[in-house]
Chains A and B, each alone.
Chain A
Amino acid sequence: MTFPTLNFPVIAPQIVLVAAALIILLADLMVANKRILGWISLIAVIGALAAVFVCRSDSAAFPLALGGPSGPGTMALADGLGLFASAAVLIAAGLAILLAIERVGDFSRFEKPGSEKKQARSGDHPIAEAPGPQVTDRAGAYYALLLLATAGMTAMATASDLMTIFIALEIFSLALYILVGFNRRDLRSGEAALKYFLLGAFASGFFLYGIALIYAATGTTSLEAILHNIQPMSISLPFRPLLPVGMGLLLVGFGFKLALVPFHMWTPDAYQGAPTPVTAFMSVATKAAAFAALIRVLAAVASYDRPWLLALAALAVLTMTLGNLAALRQTSLKRMLAYSSIAHAGYLLIGLAAGNQLGVEGALYYLLAYTFMNLGAFAVLLAVQRRDENDVTGDRILGLAGRQPLLAALMAVLMFSLAGIPPLAGFFGKLYVFSGAVEAGLAWLAIVGVLNSALGAYYYLRVTILMFMAEPAESDQEISSGKVETLQPGWAVMTTVVLAVLGTIVLGLWQWPWTQTIAQAVSTLALR
Chain B
Amino acid sequence: MVPLTWYLVLAAALFAIGMFGVLARKNAVAVLMGVELMLNAVNINLLAFWRYTALGELVGHAFAVFVITVAAAEAAVGVALFIAVYRQRDTVNVEELDAMKG
Stretch of A265-273, A288-296, A370-378, A492-500 with 4 or more beta carbons under 8 angstroms from chain B: A265-273
Q: Which of A174, A191, A211, A220 contacts B99 (CB 8 A)?
A: A191
B19 to chain A, nearest CB (A): 7
Q: A174-B74, A198-B94, A209-B41 are in contact. Are A329 and B81 (CB under 8 A)?
A: no
Whether B77 contacts A268 by the Cβ 8 Å rule is no
Q: A194-B82, A272-B100 are in contact. Are A201 and B35 (CB under 8 A)?
A: yes
Q: Which of B77, B78, B85 contacts A190 (CB 8 A)?
A: B85
Q: Name the residue in B55, B57, B89, B94 with the highest tally of chain A Cβ atoms < 10 Å from its Cβ.
A: B57
Q: In the assembled complex, which residues on chain A have CB atoms less than 8 Å from the CB atom of B80?
A: 178
In chain A, positions 185-223 with a C-beta closer than 8 Å to chain B are: 187-188, 190-195, 197-198, 201-202, 204-205, 208-209, 211-213, 215-216, 219-221
Q: In the assembled complex, which residues on chain B have CB atoms less than 8 Å from the CB atom of A208?
A: 38-39, 42, 67
Q: Which of A66, A194, A332 contacts B58 (CB 8 A)?
A: A66
Whether B60 contacts A198 by the Cβ 8 Å rule is no
Q: In the assembled complex, which residues on chain A have CB atoms less than 8 Å from the CB atom of B70?
A: 166-167, 170, 204
Bound complex: CA A167 to CA B71 (Å): 11
Q: A170-B74, A205-B35, A215-B63 are in contact. Are A197 and B56 (CB under 8 A)?
A: no
Q: Name the residue in B32, B78, B89 with the highest tally of chain A Cβ atoms < 10 Å from its Cβ.
A: B78
Tally the A-B contacts, defined by beta carbons under 8 Å. 146
Whether B88 contacts A187 by the Cβ 8 Å rule is yes
Whether A194 contacts B57 by the Cβ 8 Å rule is no
Whether B32 contacts A201 by the Cβ 8 Å rule is yes
The A interface is mostly helix, strand or loop, or mixed, namely helix
Bound complex: CA A268 to CA B100 (Å): 9
B35-67 vs A, CB cutoff 8 Å, 1 = contact: the mask equals 100110110011001000111111110110011
Q: In the assembled complex, which residues on chain A have CB atoms less than 8 Å from the CB atom of B63?
A: 163, 211, 215, 221
Q: Name the residue in B53, B58, B62, B94 with the highest tally of chain A Cβ atoms < 10 Å from its Cβ.
A: B53
Q: A187-B89, A190-B88, A216-B45 are in contact. Are A197 and B53 (CB under 8 A)?
A: no
Q: Which of B15, B32, B89 contacts A198 (CB 8 A)?
A: B32
Whether B45 contacts A212 by the Cβ 8 Å rule is yes
Q: Interface extent on A, as a size class? A: 35 or more
A435 to chain B, nearest CB (A): 34
Bound complex: CA A205 to CA B88 (Å): 29
| Cβ-based interface call for A184 (8 A) | yes
Whether A181 contacts B81 by the Cβ 8 Å rule is yes
B100 to chain A, nearest CB (A): 5
Q: In the assembled complex, which residues on chain B have CB atoms less than 8 Å from the CB atom of A232?
A: none
Stretch of A5-13, A67-75, A482-490 with 4 or more beta carbons under 8 angstroms from chain B: A67-75
| Cβ-based interface call for A177 (8 A) | yes
Q: A194-B92, A197-B78, A198-B94 are in contact. Are A216 and B53 (CB under 8 A)?
A: yes
| Cβ-based interface call for A335 (8 A) | yes
| Cβ-based interface call for A133 (8 A) | no
A75 to chain B, nearest CB (A): 11
| Cβ-based interface call for A123 (8 A) | no
A302 to chain B, nearest CB (A): 20
| Cβ-based interface call for B9 (8 A) | no
Whether B57 contacts A192 by the Cβ 8 Å rule is no
| Cβ-based interface call for B3 (8 A) | no
- Smallest CB gap from B23: residue in A: A202
Bound complex: CA A213 to CA B49 (Å): 9
Q: In the assembled complex, which residues on chain A have CB atoms less than 8 Å from the CB atom of B1?
A: none
Q: List the 10 shortest-distance A-B pairs measured between CB atoms, nearest first.
A: A205-B38, A67-B57, A212-B45, A216-B49, A208-B42, A190-B85, A201-B35, A191-B97, A170-B70, A188-B99
10 intermolecular pairs with C-beta atoms under 8 Å apart = A70-B57, A187-B88, A188-B100, A194-B28, A194-B97, A195-B97, A209-B41, A211-B63, A268-B102, A335-B102
Binding site for A on B (CB under 8 A): 15, 18-19, 22, 28, 31-32, 35, 38-39, 41-42, 45-46, 49, 53-60, 62-63, 66-67, 70, 73-74, 77-78, 80-82, 84-85, 87-89, 92, 94, 97, 99-100, 102
Add 11 more A-B contacts to A67-B59, A273-B99 (CB < 8 A). A67-B56, A70-B56, A170-B74, A174-B77, A190-B85, A194-B81, A198-B31, A202-B31, A205-B15, A219-B55, A235-B55
